[in-house]
Each structure stands twice: as C-alpha cells, then as structure tokens.
C-alpha cells in the first residue's frame, strides 16, 4: 500500500496553501479533490476579492485560484481530481478514483480542507423548481454561463447574498430584492452599497412567507418581521419572480473529520459544528489537521494562512522542519491571523477560534 | 425605518463625514479629490498601495479604516478600479462653472458612450438628474473595472454615485 | 438563457454544440456542460416529479448532494444532471418514478 507523508483533502485556497508549504519543506504531498478542477470556491468567484494585499486582495477570485495552482505545480504537489473519499480508518483513506477504481491509501498525516456547504431554510413552496442555493446559482451563471431565470429574489444579506446578487446583475438578470430576517445587513457595507447603487433594495427585518407556482416558481410573498421575529400582519407583499436564491449561511464540511474521529464543538460565529483544533490546526486526533472554511467559515486570507499553518505544522511533525525552524514561521502566521480577525466582523471569529483552541488544550490535557 | 449603512446599505451623510476617507468641504472645493466610502473596519488594504502618492493609509492592523491625506491626493483616480469594494470615487468641483465631475467604477454592460446624456443615480440607484458622460476609461491594468466620469450640476455632486442604463438582457 | 456577453467574463466563446433529445424534443447543448445547464439554457426548469405526490423538482444544490435534479439519461434513472456532462445525442427524460 502506498504511504504518503501528507494527504490534503480539498483543493481550495486552504488546501493548496497547506500543500504548498508542506511540499516546500520537503514532505511528499498528495492533494485530493472530488471536483473536476481544483481551486474550490475561487473558480466561480468573478469579483475582485477584498482582503490583504499579501493574500492577493484586489484580484478576481478565479485569478487567485490560478496563481495558487501554479505555485502548487511549481512545488511538485501531486493533485488527484475527481476523487471521492468513501472511508477513513486510522491512517488509511479509502478513495474512489474517476468514479470507478476504489483503493486504500496510507497517510502519515491528513489535512482536511474540504471547505463548506450552504445552509438551507424551508418555507411553503421551497421545493419548487426555481428555488436554489446562491452558490448553485453562481455555479450555473459564472461557470456555465446560463441564467436559470430573469427575476431573482435573494434571501440573506451576508457577503454571499450580496456578492451573488451583484453577479446576477452583471449576467444581465434582475434582482427584485434582497431580504434579511435580522434587523441588520449581515455582510460588509462595501458590498451592500455596491448592490444598492445598482438599484437593488435590501429589506432588513423581512422574511419569505411562501413561494408559489405550478411547475416552477412564479411568485413569492414576503413580509416584515417584528422585534420578536414574528410576521407583522398585513405587511405581506406578493410579487413575480422566477428564481429564489437561498444565501442563509455556510457550514463547515465536517463529515470526513467526523469519520476520522475528530471531536467538534458548536460555534455559531464559525458556521455551526466545527472540528476542535489546537494552535497548530491539529484536531483531537493526532496527525489529523484542518484548515480553511472546514475549520470555521472565514475568508480567503484566513483560509490561506490557516492552510500554511497546518502545512508547516505537519512538516514539523514529520521532521522536515526543526522545532526552531517551524517556530518563527508559526508565530508569524498566528500574528497575521490575529490581525485579520480584527474589527467588528472579525472579533467574533477571533473569540470563537480562541474557544476552540482552549478546548483542544483541555482535551489534550495540556 | 432607521437610516444608515447597516440597515439600508446606503451610508448617510453623517456617517460619511465621520470617516477618515472623506475629504473636508474646503478641500473638495479646491479641485479633484478622492472620496473613500469605506466605513467599516474590515480586513482589507489594496487601496493603500494603489495610490502612487501615498495619500491613502490603512496601516496596522489591517482592519483600520483607510485614511485619506487630502493634501497629498491629486484626484488622479488610479485608486478607483483597484479597490475591490468599488468604494472610491473622485469628485472635482472645479470642473466647470456650474458642473462638477464625478468619477466612479463601473462593471456592467453596456458601457456608456462619451458625450451621451444619461440618468445619473444616487447611492440607492435612483435617477437623480441628467448628466453628461465625459470619460469612459477601460485599461488593461484596471482588470475589467471601467472608470466613468460624468458631469452633473454641482449641487448633485455629493449624491451622484453612478448611472443607470438599460442593462442588456445578457444576450 | 445563455449569457452571451459579460462585463467580466467577456463574450461567450464558441464551443462545440451537440444535439440532445429531451422528452422527445431535439435541443442544442454544449458538449461537456452539465445536463442541468443545457436544460436551463433551453428554459427547462422542471426536471422531475416526485414518485408519490408528483411534486415538481429541479436544480437546487448544484453539487450532486440533494438529488432534486435526477432524470433518466440514456435509459438510466436517477442520474444527477447537475454533475453529469452532456454528450452527443444524449437522451434525457423527465423522471416521474
Ligand atoms: C459568493 C462568495 C464570495 C466570497 N467573496 C470573498 C471575498 O471577496 N474575499 C474573501 O476573502 N473571501 C470571500 N469568500 C470566502 C472564500 O471564498 C472562502 O472563505 C475560501 O475560498 C475558503 O477556502 P477553502 O479552501 O477553505 O474552501 P473551498 O474553496 O470551498 O475548497 C474546498 C475544496 O474541498 C473539496 N472537497 C469538499 N469535500 C470534499 C470531499 N469529501 N472529498 C474531496 N474533496 C472535497 C471541494 O471540491 C473544494 O475544492 C467568498 C465566498 C463566497 C461563497
Ligand atoms: S485619487 Fe490618485 S492621488 Fe488621490 S488617493 Fe486616489 S490614487 Fe491617490
Ligand atoms: S481597498 Fe477599498 S474596500 Fe478595501 S479598505 Fe480600501 S477602500 Fe475599503
Ligand atoms: S442539484 Fe442537487 S444533486 Fe443536482
């Protein structure tokens, strides 16, 4: 059986960054992704990313993906695409290549960087064709260049809802409104302002009541919410739409870490159940690490830095870096991560991450 | 409903005037200058190196609000397409006797034509007045963000932030 | 509907077009695109009906998880159209079982 130093599961920004660092340090790295192309979230993102210049901010998402991938190739990271994982047993990973060949791999260490998936909400009519995830809409629009409809309603005003709405306009369709159940817009002001300037209303304290249609979505009713999140009687408005997009949050993909026996904890500010990890990104199972959105929903800069951190820590564990060599790099990466998690939006995540690390220390008896 | 960036997506004048990226009214009257409408402490900093004159500072931590040094800024507009938030504009109150020039980023099709009269819109996208398109700059280094300048009556300059054209149906 | 012009992605490149047959009707699709994308480009939004209550379903998650987009492809039922690429002459049918 093949034994690899590091198997990285998920080739988004975090996985690529982790693979690059471990490989640079001399480890043998195999990166696995279930998708036909690497890059994760980045390839359908056509906007210029906010973030830090050190992490490619100001560049469009697909271009960030291209650059990371180039660096991974330069550093001789082996990439296996179209590969599904069916099981994890100790340090053995069961994979299915190209949907046909099943086999087992042995890994000295594993880094899970399998990203996140969309959360859902249900309402009367939510199963009608035309109701879809915002990420699903983004894939079909930006990657395949097909508009699933012409009049969209966006549910959720986080960055995903705001950014995808803007991209729907760029594709030539209309966004009738963005509605948000909370009394405040969830995403960044810059994104909200950009979509407002393009003429799209953002209605806070509003929810969807029902979607109507015979064989597909034809109309929707929304209504206002009071302080206790109850529908205000008489506030309902009905209008025509043919697509309803759900952008109500992301949650870390923890199925594989769970399969591997990693313990999780619930932290709303990181998207829900998150694998517990220490300050080296190591989970409660020795030799298994997490990085990026899989370790808590954040941003590309943090995904890259947490990936690097995991990559360095793994290289240290395997003896490719001495304690001293790894130390300075890790301290520096942690400082950068800390700085990125500042401001009113980042603070919450910083506290949540600290909780995770404390819990890990407690469980490991440190 | 409550007004302001957090509830409507539209920054109010009071909110704007409080941010360090907003030039003083004195400076505004003296000629072209950047107006940075970035009001929240988010981890972002490309604007800082975008300005060749060093007129924008974010510093450390990266979540600081961008601060404009209005004396250094010449209103050249280079920073406009480099801000991923599309949050930087340039206003020139000295453009002509009764008009000001508002320059903003634009990422839709079709592009406006120079010298055409179009509806100039405010921060909510509502048409506010007619304006004349003076310049449409599409440069390779702008990476597909087009920089558009529109001349409007001076009294509208602080409210006009874009244009509305009949957006194509994608076809 | 296909997005022919785009301010960021540019004009739609010419890609190889193939014919597919959807519920007996010949339609044009682009080779290699997901079946779901070809259907929506042709304004087909409803992909299947649930077995018992006959409720309509369509493209939902886009990543092969929800199974809402399943159809009968070349005689094989339960094919997830969001992650299955179009090939020349493919026969696609609405699934009602
Ligand atoms: C609409 C939108 C706009 C955004 N805009 C910005 C922005 O402007 N600035 C910013 O900083 N951030 C932005 N983000 C966030 C940013 O994209 C993510 O935080 C970042 O890409 C996360 O990277 P990742 O590597 O952790 O996960 P992902 O990029 O999601 O990568 C995960 C990878 O894992 C693979 N995978 C998943 N499960 C498995 C499995 N079981 N087996 C094998 N492979 C698997 C997937 O195929 C994927 O390739 C945005 C996100 C969205 C959705
Ligand atoms: S307008 Fe020119 S001088 Fe002023 S901040 Fe922007 S780049 Fe600098
Ligand atoms: S680049 Fe734009 S969005 Fe980012 S901090 Fe500067 S002004 Fe704000
Ligand atoms: S749309 Fe969910 S499986 Fe295809």
Q: Is residue C4 part of a domain?
A: no
pLDDT value of residue B74: 98
To the nearest whole percent, how much of chain B has pLDDT over 90?
Answer: 94
Any domain includes C62? yes
Q: Rounded distance, CA C67 to CA A127, Å?
A: 12
C91: CATH: 3.10.20.440
Q: Exposed, middle or buried, B159 (CB in 10 Å: 0-12/13-18/19+)?
A: middle
Q: Do B168 and C5 touch (CB under 8 A)?
A: yes
Q: Which residues contact C53 (CB under 8 A, 6 or more apart)?
A: none
C61 touches chain A (CB under 8 A): yes
User: Does residue B168 register a pLDDT over 60?
Assistant: no
Regarding beta strands A101-112 and A219-224, do their DSSP bridges make them parallel or antiparallel, or are they unpaired? unpaired
The model's pLDDT over A86-136, given as tens digits with 9 standing for 90+, comes to 999 989 999 998 878 899 999 999 999 999 999 999 999 999 999 999 999
Residue B2: is its pLDDT beyond 90? no
Instruction: State the residue for tokens 């929800």.
Output: C66
Digit-coded pLDDT (tens) for B121-148 = 999 999 999 999 999 999 999 999 999 9
**For residue B66, pLDDT beyond 80:** yes
Neighbouring chains of B at 3+ CB pairs under 8 Å are A, C
* Number of separate domains in chain C: 1
**Chain A closest CA to B131's CA: distance in Å?**
16
Q: C68 — contact with chain A (CB < 8 Å)?
A: yes
Residue C8 lies in a domain: no
Residue B171 scores a pLDDT above 70: no
pLDDT at C97 (0 to 100):
76
Q: Is residue C27 part of a domain?
A: yes
Among C80, C92, C95, say which to mutate for ligand 4: greatest number of ligand atoms within 8 Å of CB.
C80
Any residues with Cβ below 6 Å from ligand 3, and which? Answer: A 50, 190; B 36, 38, 44-47, 66, 83-85, 87-88
Pairwise CA distance, residues A78 & A95, whole Å: 15
| Residue-range domain boundaries for chain B | 8-165
Alpha-helical regions (H) of A151-261? 159-170, 189-197, 255-259
pLDDT in tens, B101-119: 999 999 999 999 999 999 9
Q: Are A69 and A38 in contact (CB under 8 A)?
A: yes
The beta strands (E) that lie in A149-280 are given as 151-155, 174-179, 202-203, 206-212, 219-224, 237-240, 243-246, 250-252, 264-267, 272-275
ipTM above 0.95, yes or no: yes
Instruction: Compute the average pLDDT of residues C73-96.
Output: 96
Q: Which helix (H) or strand (E) holds B86?
A: none
Please state the pTM of the whole predicted model: 0.96
Supply φ then ψ for residue A44, to 5 degrees: -100, 0
pLDDT at A99: 77
Q: Is residue C5 part of a domain?
A: no
Whether the Cβ atoms of residue C16 and residue C31 lie closer than 8 Å to each other: yes
What pLDDT is recorded for position A366? 66
pLDDT at B170 over 70: no
**Residue C12 and residue B169: Cα distance in Å, rounded?**
14
- Rounded to an integer, what distance in angstroms lies between the CA atom of residue A27 and that of residue A44? 30
Residue span of the structural domain in which C21 resides: 15-96
- Across the 366 residues of chain A, what is the mean pLDDT of every consecutive 10-residue run? 91 97 97 91 93 90 94 96 92 89 95 96 97 97 97 98 98 97 97 97 98 97 96 97 98 97 98 98 98 97 96 98 97 95 95 97 86
């Amino acid at each position: 059986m093949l034994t690899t130093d590091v198997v990285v599961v998920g080739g988004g920004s975090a996985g690529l960054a982790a693979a690059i660092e471990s490989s640079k340090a001399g480890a043998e790295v195999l990166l696995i992704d279930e998708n036909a192309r690497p890059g994760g979230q980045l390839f359908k993102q056509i906007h210029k990313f906010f973030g830090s210049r050190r992490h490619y901010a100001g560049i469009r998402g697909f271009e960030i993906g291209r650059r990371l991938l180039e660096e991974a190739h330069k550093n001789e990271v082996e990439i296996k695409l179209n590969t599904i994982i069916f099981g994890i047993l100790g340090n053995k990973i069961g994979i299915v290549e190209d949907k046909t060949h099943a086999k087992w791999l042995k890994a000295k260490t594993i880094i899970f960087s399998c990203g996140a998936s969309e959360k859902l909400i249900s309402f009367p009519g939510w199963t009608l064709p035309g109701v879809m995830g915002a990420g699903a809409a983004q894939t079909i629009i930006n990657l395949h260049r097909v508009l699933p409809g012409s009049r969209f309603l966006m549910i959720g005003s986080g960055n995903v809802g705001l950014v995808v709405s803007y991209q729907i306009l760029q594709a030539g369709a209309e966004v009738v409104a963005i509605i948000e159940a909370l009394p405040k817009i969830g995403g960044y002001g810059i994104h909200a302002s950009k979509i407002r300037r393009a003429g799209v209303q953002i209605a806070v304290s509003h929810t969807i009541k029902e979607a109507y249609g015979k064989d597909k979505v034809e109309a929707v009713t929304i209504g206002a919410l009071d302080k206790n999140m109850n529908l205000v009687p008489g506030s309902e408005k009905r209008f025509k739409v043919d697509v309803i997009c759900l952008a109500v949050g992301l949650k870390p993909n923890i199925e594989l870490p769970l399969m591997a026996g990693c313990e999780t904890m619930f932290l709303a500010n990181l998207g829900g159940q998150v694998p517990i990890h220490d300050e080296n990104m190591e989970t409660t199972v020795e030799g298994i690490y997490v990085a990026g959105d899989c370790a808590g929903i954040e941003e590309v800069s943090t995904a890259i830095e947490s990936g690097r951190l995991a990559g360095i820590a793994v290289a240290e564990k395997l003896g490719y870096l001495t304690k001293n060599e790894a130390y300075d790099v890790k301290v520096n990466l942690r400082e950068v991560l800390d700085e990125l998690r500042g401001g009113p939006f980042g603070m919450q995540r910083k506290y949540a991450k600290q909780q995770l690390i404390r819990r890990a220390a407690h469980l490991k008896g440190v | 409903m409550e007004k302001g960036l957090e509830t409507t997506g539209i920054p109010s004048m009071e909110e704007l005037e409080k941010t360090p990226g907003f030039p003083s009214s004195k400076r505004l009257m003296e000629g072209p200058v950047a107006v940075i409408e970035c009001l929240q402490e988010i981890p972002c900093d490309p604007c800082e190196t975008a300005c060749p004159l060093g007129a924008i500072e974010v510093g450390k931590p990266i979540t600081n609000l961008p601060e404009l040094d209005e004396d250094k800024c010449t209103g050249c507009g280079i920073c406009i397409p480099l801000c991923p938030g599309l949050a930087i504009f340039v206003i020139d109150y000295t453009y002509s006797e009764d008009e000001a020039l508002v320059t903003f980023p634009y990422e839709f099709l079709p592009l406006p034509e120079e010298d055409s009269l179009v509806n100039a819109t405010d921060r909510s996208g509502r048409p506010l007045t007619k304006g004349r398109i003076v310049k449409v700059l599409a440069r390779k280094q702008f990476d597909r963000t087009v920089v558009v300048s529109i001349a409007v009556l001076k009294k509208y300059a602080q409210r006009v932030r874009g244009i509305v054209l009949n957006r194509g149906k994608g076809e | 509907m296909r997005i022919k012009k785009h301010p960021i992605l540019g004009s739609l490149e010419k890609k190889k077009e193939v014919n597919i047959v959807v519920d007996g009707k010949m339609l044009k699709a682009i080779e290699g695109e997901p079946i779901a994308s070809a259907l929506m480009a042709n304004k087909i939004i409803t992909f299947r009906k649930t077995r018992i209550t006959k409720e309509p379903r369509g493209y939902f998650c886009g990543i092969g998880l929800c199974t809402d987009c399943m159809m009968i492809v070349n005689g094989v039922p339960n094919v997830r159209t969001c992650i299955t690429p179009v090939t020349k002459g493919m026969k696609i049918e609405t699934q009602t079982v």
